[in-house]
Amino acid sequence: MKKKCILLYILIGFSLLSCEKDDDKFTTDSPFYALKDNRQWISTSSWANYSLTNEKMVIAGSKRDSEYYQDEQLHLSFKTTDISESNTVTDFYARWDFVIGGDAIGDSYIIDSNYNNLITINSFDTDKKKISGTFELRLVRDENRSDAGEKMYYKNGFFSLDYNESE
């Protein structure tokens, strides 16, 4: 009987150790998502645009709450000439906005330059006009909204989007 209890405790221990945190798993078809402050952030719409004149890529995702007509919008932008051979972009701009009623910005966070923010481009296909990659960043509340330095973290970020070209 004692051996059976020990075996049962060992099996329970292994099963508990093999459990993974659900927040780290994404089961979505969304082409733009991340963990925002360790909670799933899955966009409901996303887009990308490449400016031929400025050689600048803008990638954006929006998470809409249609009941209250408000959005969380995350924008990433960088010069395509800044993509190194390793496909890592460290010089980029990021901004998060909380938009109310379709056009009123209720809150904003901007990229925190004191953090090792990173975008990794996995694929940049100029023939098919597709871009995919991952990102990790820390944002700080816009000082026009607050001077307390509140922070927001995005990690395990992913995007895979068709992009439009403009002059």
| DSSP letters spanning 36-71 | ETTEEEE-SEEEEEEETTTTEEEEEEEEEETTTTEE
Measure CA of the first residue to CA of the last residue in the chain; give whole Å: 77
Burial of 98 (0-12, 13-18, 19+ CB in 10 A): middle
Q: What is the mean pLDDT of residues 60-78?
A: 89
Confidence of residue 25 (pLDDT cuts 50, 70, 90): low
pLDDT at 78: 94
pLDDT single digits (tens) 74-95: 999 999 876 766 688 888 999 9
pLDDT single digits (tens) 124-156: 888 999 999 999 999 999 887 777 889 999 999
Q: Is the pLDDT reported for residue 16 higher than 60?
A: no
Q: Is the pLDDT reported for residue 3 higher than 70?
A: no
Q: 3-state DSSP call for residue 130?
A: strand
